[in-house]
Structure formats: C-alpha cells, structure tokens
Structure 1
Amino acid sequence: MKAVNNSMADKKLIGVDLGGTTTKFGILTPAGDVQQRWSIETDVLEDGRQIIPNIIDSIKHHLDMYDMSAEQFLGIGMGSPGSVDLTAGTVTGAFNLNWSGTVYPKRDIEAATGIPFYIDNDANVAAMGERWMGAGDNDPNVTFVTLGTGVGGGIIADGRLLHGVAGSAGELGHITVQPGGYLCTCGKRGCLEQYASATGVVHIARDMAEEYAGDAKLKFMLDDGEDITSKIVFDLAKENDPLALKVVDKVSFYLGLALANVGNMLNPKYIVIGGGVSAAGDFLLQRVQQNFEENTFPNVRQTTSLRLATLGNEAGIVGAASLVLQDQAETEE
C-alpha cells in the first residue's frame, strides 16, 4: 500500500465487512488506524432485501452521530460473500445472505451517501487487511488462507490482488488434496475445504473414530453421540488424546500439502493463516509447517514463511477500507 499524499491524509475511510450474521463497520484513517467501530445484525429475511438499506441507514446514522459529512471521506470499501463484479459493483449468488439474484450495492450506496464505493469478495478483503496492517507486514507478496466454516483465500502478488479471468483466483479451499475424497459443496471431491475447515475437522474425526479401536476421550464422546466442534478436537489433542492427535495430524497434512503447492506456485513472502480454526495457534502451525517443508521446493522452503493472522475480526473492515486506497493509487498511476 502506498503512502497517501497530504491532501488525502486528513480524510477518512469507511470499511464494511458484510457477513451472514453480522455486518461490521469501521471509520479509519488512511494510515490504517481504526477510529470508530460498530456492527449491526445482517437481516437475511425476505431474500436479504433489507441488507443494503440497513447498511445505508447505519452509515448515515453514525455520520450524523459523529457530526461528519460525505466530503470528509475518500470512500467506502466493502467485502461481500458471493461473486463480485468489481467494475459494476454488483454481487451475484451470495447464498448465505439469501441473495439468489444480482444485487447492486455500489449503485445504491453511492446514490444514498454521495461517497465513492468499492467492493470485493470477503476473503480477498480479509487478505488485504492482513497484508496491510496485520501479519503480512505490508509486503507486496502475501497469500492469505482463512479456515472457518469453509476455507477461503486471497492472493496479493507484486502488490496487486489477483482476481483471475472470472474472479476465482485465490479459491484455495478448492485445491484438491485427496483425489476422489469427500464430496464438496462445489460438486467435486477431495477439496481442502472438506479437510481443513471447522466442519472438515469434525468430518475427519467422525470417520477416524469409527475405525479407532483404542481408548480415547474423543472416541468416547463421538460414540456417545455428543456434538463436537473443531475446537474440542484441538483442545483434546493439546491434552494428548491419542485419537484427537491423529485427527490433527491428518488435518495438518492436508493443509501443509495445499500450502506447499501454493508456495511452490507463488513464492510469497508470507502465507498467513486466519479464521476460526487458526485459533489453535502454534499447536496447529508447527504441524502444518512440518508438512509444508516436506512438500516445498528448497528455495521456496527458505524464503516463504507461514504465519498466523493477527487482526482477527478487524481484518475485514481494515481490508475493505484499503480498497479505497488501492483505487486511489491505481488512478494516480
């Protein structure tokens, strides 16, 4: 991210992180400092038709509250689920928002606020946030992978976010790690998402428990019909539960293999791991690192580092705000 010129420096940015349950907002300086934060519930009822009006109302309400006007802002950036058309500012097929058709956030939000608006996919935006103010140290080459309910990703190469020909660059969750493996929601088999997401960890645990003959608390819980989460699996592994350790080793193998392939292809300075599953911290990172090293080309092994994300819930609003600056920088080139 380039330094901002003085005329821009006293203006502000708005970042919006649109999620399936919560929409988060932030007012930031062009240096990336979050000055105000708030959130609202995402209303997905009635095909999600209240989502954009609610975002507009919330922005207007807070600008009134802080006694601010449109002229004080360089722009609004937003990260959204679904397929995003960057130029048109539209979103298609964001099913967790109940948006089955095409929605027009840019058109509607610009018209209502009078502030320029920029949008990108939510995983790309989180990648931008971690790269700019988080574990990416603002390096021009950073790949971000987020391990949540699914697995998402974003790739910044030579300072630019990669989109590909149809916006699907960085779909790291759909790297095949087990040919013919678990069926993915995307329709193909063996995707990383089915092995390293929160739901994937539980799926592996259930399958391994069926074959496991030894004594393990995780097996007892599963055989007893208890609901388990990926956090429970990792917590038990940290307590040396033998089955939980086997599950974590398997997850780490698949994730390390996928990230090694990413490293061999892109050779970024950092591959940053975020999302709920990454809360397992160094316990997960050390095991993934081992598999990463076994599967990387020597030069990549020595120059690409794995890191845990540092921004947590703020990555989305910070990255969204940075879309405004990226547009300014490209306009000046």
Structure 2
Amino acid sequence: MNSSSNANSAAPAAKKARATKPARGKAPTDRRTGSRRLAEEHGLVVGVDIGGSNLRVALADIQGKVLEKWSTSTRATSSPDMVIAQIVQGIDSLLRQSSSSRCALLSVGAGAPGVTDAKAGVVLATSYLKGWRGVPFQHLLESALGVPAAVENDVRLAALGEHSMGAARGVDDFVFLAIGTGIAAGIFANGKLIRGINCTAGEIGYMYVPGATEEPTKSGAPGSLEGMIGGDNIRLQWSKACNADTRLHNLTATEIFARASAGDPMAKSVLDRSAQLLAYAVYNISLVLNSSLFVLGGGIGVSMPLRDATERVLEQHNEPSRPRLVISSLGTDAQLNGAIRLALITAKTHSKRRV
C-alpha cells in the first residue's frame, strides 16, 4: 500500500505544526489539508478481537507498534449494540492512558468469530455470539466512532497477523490453522487472503478425513473433523480412556498432550489419534493449495507435542511435497495483531481516496 500524498497547500500555521513533532497520538484538530496529513503521519489505529467470551482492544501507532491494551468480558453483553458500546469504552480508556484524544484516531479493524463478509462489512452468522446474524458491524463501528472501519473473520485476521509480523512473515502461500474448541483455517494464496464466494473458505472443521465420522453434518452441529479433534471431543476421549480415575477428567487438551509426552500411554493414544486426523487434513489441504507452510495456532494448535506427532505422520505422506509445520509465533495475539494490520490498511486506503 502507498502512504498518503503530500498536501496540496497549507497555511503558515499548518507548516509550523509540521515542523514541530507532536506528542504521541496528539493530532491537531484543524481540518485543513496540511493538518490532516500530519494527523495521518502521527495518528493512531485500533485493533479489536471479539471472542465468544472476551473482547480485546489494542491501540497502536501508525507503524503498528502496540501502545496499550484493554479487555473485558462479553458473556453477559454479547448483543451487537452492547459490544459496540464496550468497544467505544475500551478505545476511550486506551486514549486516556496514552494521553491522546479521539481526533488522533484514524481507523479501526475488528475480527468476529463467524462467517464474515469483509467486503460488505457484515457478520453473516456466528454460533459464538447470540443474535449475530446479518449484523452490519462495519457501519455500526463507523457510526459510533466517526472513523473508517473494517471487519473480518477472526481466523483470517490471525493469518493476516502471522503474515505481517509472525511465523509466516514474507510467505505468500501458507495456511493458518486455528485449533481450539472449533477448527478453521485462514488461507493466503499469492499473497492474498482467500475468502470464497460465500465467505466460507477455510471452514475445514467440516472436512471429511479417514477415521472421522461420515454422517452428514446437522445445522448448528460441529463438522466431521471438528467433532473428532476439537477441544470438547479430545476431552471426551480422555474421560473415556481414564474412566477409573475421575481426578484426571478435567484436564485440558494441552495438558493431556503434555502427559503423552511424559509417557502416559492413555494420553498418548488420544494424542496419536488427534495427530493422525490433523495430518490427514493438512495433507489434503496441501494437495489442493500447494502451500509451503502451515502455522498452528489456537489454544490447542500451539501444543508442541501435537505439532511433533502430526509431523511424524506427515513424514509418511510426503508426495508430491510435504508442507512445513510451525507453531504460531504470535500465540493468542495473532488475531489482535491482524486487526491492527487491517486498521493500518484501512487508514492508508482511505487516505489515498482523499487525494
């Protein structure tokens, strides 16, 4: 993306303002072209990650450096209007912490957990937020904040974050796999995010692989792959395996995989099954996309025992080529970093339009 153009003309006061470096995030309120250019060069952007239970907001400078973070729960406030109010509250809090004002804000990028039409700025459907169907979230953000906004699926934002500053930096063909309670992929091909005609590209939780259930997926139910290696099913497998010892029933998937690495045979059987199914999914995706890299993220995907076990399965399936598996370098901040990157792109795009 190109940066904003030079101002056409500016009054002496504006020239004086350009000669003096402003305090962090302090953009002048003057509406003239020169002052606007100064605001764009020293302004701030906001990244928002909307989860099923938590909302995270980050304030960053125009280079993408995170200055402040804020978070809150969405468990009791998940309606679109209430989430918008929380975002506004978070942004105002961050601006106060950084001694900045609303006039310094250039743009907002937000990620939502569900099928999202990024071009229209609409969250089409999500099972994680009640009542979210056909929500014009971009418009709601812009109306509340008075700055350009952009909305994207949260897993695609994680891929954008890894591409811009994480494990896939400089890699134009890769897949980010978010593995947690659900499973989904953010796909980069030829340096661009792939969304698909109905904005559902990457919904690999519905993929059928050997060993997974072959029953058609019912509306609202997990897909075949997700139903086998999503977090809930991994814990269910573990509970069945150690039925006699109820003290171990509440272990998380990553704790189960850690026990497998320590030599627990029951945990190893759960890990091996999950790794085999994941390896099949990775192999099949790589055959279609010929991606050179798969980045594993999400609460379960960052498990090193899972990565290593999956790698061992893939070693047996290396024709015509075997993709490289790495753990996300951004971890839980992948979505938030992607949202900041989206906000930066949005700010530059609107700056170019004003030229």
TM-score computed with the length of structure 1 as normaliser: 0.84
Q: Is the 8 A contact 2:155 2:184 kept in 1?
A: yes
How many Å separate the matches in 2 of 1:316 and 1:48?
A: 19
What amino acid sits opposite 1:316 in the alignment? Q
Which of 83, 87, 90 is residue 55 of structure 1 equivalent to?
87
Give me the whole-angstrom Cα distance separating, in 2, the residues matched to 1:56 and 1:145.
30
Q: Unaligned regions of 5+ residues in structure 2, if any?
A: 6-36
CA distance in 2, matches of 1:131, 1:56: 28
Kindly state the Cα deviation for residue 195 of structure 1 after the two structures are TM-superposed: 2.3
Q: What is the Cα deviation at residue 184 of structure 1?
A: 5.6
Aligned 1:201-280 pairs, distance under 5 A: 201-206=234-239, 209=241, 218-221=242-245, 226-280=249-303
Q: Give the corresponding residue for 2:309.
A: 287
Equivalent residue number for residue 34 of structure 2: none
User: Structure 1 pair 15/50, CA: closer, same or farther in 2 (3 Å)?
Assistant: same
Output the CA distance in 1 between the equivalents of 2:140 and 2:81.
12
Q: CA deviation at 1:22?
A: 1.1
Structure 1: distance between partners of 2:70 and 2:63: 19
Summarize the Cα distance change of 1:35–1:93 in structure 2 as closer, same or farther, 3 Å threshold: same
Deviations 1:172-211 (A, max 9, x none): 222212353578665688722122221121233345x3xx
Alignment partner for residue 191 of structure 1, among 206, 216, 224? 224
1:282-321, CA deviations, whole angstroms, 9 ceiling, x for partnerless residues?
x2212101222323423x22xx311001112211111011
Task: Report the counterpart of residue 343 of structure 2 in structure 1.
Answer: 324
Q: Give the equivalent residue in structure 2 for 1:212.
A: none
Structure 1 unaligned residues grouped into runs of 5+: 210-217
Against the structure 1 CA distance between its residues 190 and 9, is the aligned structure 2 distance closer, same or farther, given a 3 Å change threshold? Answer: same
- The count of aligned residue pairs is 318
Matched residue, 2:198 = 166
User: Contact between 1:234 and 1:248, CA under 8 Å: does it hold in 2?
Assistant: yes
The structure-2 alpha-carbon separation of the partners of 1:5 and 1:257, relative to structure 1 and needing over 3 Å to count, comes to: farther
SS at match of 1:96: coil
1:36: which partner in 2?
68
Sort the Cα spacing of 1:147 and 1:138 in 2 relative to 1 into closer, same or farther, 3 A. Answer: same
Provide the secondary structure at the position in 2 that maps to 1:192: helix
245-254 or 87-96: which moved more?
A: 87-96
Q: RMSD of the alignment, in Å?
A: 2.8
Q: Which amino acid aligns with 1:193?
A: E
TM-score of the superposition, structure 2-length normalised? 0.79
For 1:34, the aligned partner's letter is V
Whose Rg is larger?
A: 2
Deviations, residues 231-263 of structure 1 (Å, cap 9, x unaligned):
332132122111211111111100011011111
